[in-house]
Structure 1
Amino acid sequence: MPKKRIEQSLAEAALLFAALGDPTRLMLLQRLSHDGAASISALAERFVITRQGVTKHLRVLEAAGLVDGRRQGRECVWAMNPARLAEGQRCLETIGRGWDDALSRLKSHIEKG
């Protein structure tokens, strides 16, 4: 993979993991994944923060590609984007394989010494 593409991929992964680093955003994603698409009003009912607070968190998740909002009448309905989570999972698997390879090399080196 070209260096520019790797850097872009890492930047996208950082945005994804930064968005996932907040408990409220994780709870919003859990709610959307379990119950399906919902309006801001419906989402805000389950949180102790305001609708505006929920909206700000949804915007962060949207910027990371984790949720999509669409107009449905007068409301905006939000849904989870599972494909983006799958990208994050692939990124973690790549990092995990790197660690596995490094540990395997270390083990081999220790056993030879």
Structure 2
Amino acid sequence: MNERSDTAVIDGVISALADRTRRQLLDRLAVRGEVTATQLAEDLPVSRQAIVKHLNVLEAAGLVSGNRVGREMRYTVQADALDTTARWMSSLAADWDRRLATVKRLAEVVEALERD
């Protein structure tokens, strides 16, 4: 992927995961594997129609995919978009760690100079 498409993927993932119900659905799909919206609705105090809407958002973000089996649509987790987002977050955390280490070193130098 290029940087521009990575940014779009990351934006989509973060937006999709901003909703608690969608995070719960993703957790359940990760544990249960391939599941229908009806099966997911049994676990949550949300209607099947609402579950389908949430699944559509997750699918648009690349976090799940739907596969028609007969009359049913079965959903599974897709890890690529989440992996891209996790790599970005890890890189961001490493950048902040480096910046904070620099601030700490500078503060220690200033403190040592003030003692002398």
TM-score (norm 1): 0.89
Alpha-carbon displacement from aligned partner over 1:6-53 (angstroms, at most 9, x marks no partner): 344223212111111111111101111111110111111112211110
Larger radius of gyration: 2
1:1-113 equivalences under 5 Å are 5-113=2-110
Worse overlay, 14-23 or 60-69: 14-23
In 2, Cα distance between the equivalents of 1:40 and 1:93?
32
Size of the aligned set, in residue pairs, is: 109
Alignment partners' CA distance in 1, 2:76 and 2:5: 25
Secondary structure of 1:33's counterpart equals helix
After TM superposition, the structure 1 stretch with the greater mean CA deviation from structure 2, 44-53 or 94-103, is: 44-53
CA distance in 1, matches of 2:6, 2:98: 21
Distance 1:82 1:12 in 2: 12
Matches of 1:28 and 1:109, distance apart in 2:
46
Give the conservation status (yes or no) of the 8 Å contact 2:9–2:84. no
1:26-85 CA deviation, whole Å, 9 max, x = no partner?
110111111111011111111221111001100110011000001000010000012322
Q: Unpaired segments of 5 or more residues in structure 2?
A: 111-116
Q: In structure 1, give the amino acid aligned to 2:45.
A: V
Equivalent residue of 2:43, what SS?
coil
Q: Alignment identity in percent?
A: 36
Structure 2 counterpart of 1:112, one-letter code: V
Root mean square deviation of aligned Cα:
1.3
1:8–1:84 CA distance, 2 compared to 1 (3 A): closer
Q: Is the 8 A contact 2:66 2:75 kept in 1?
A: yes
> Gaps (5+ residues) in structure 1?
none
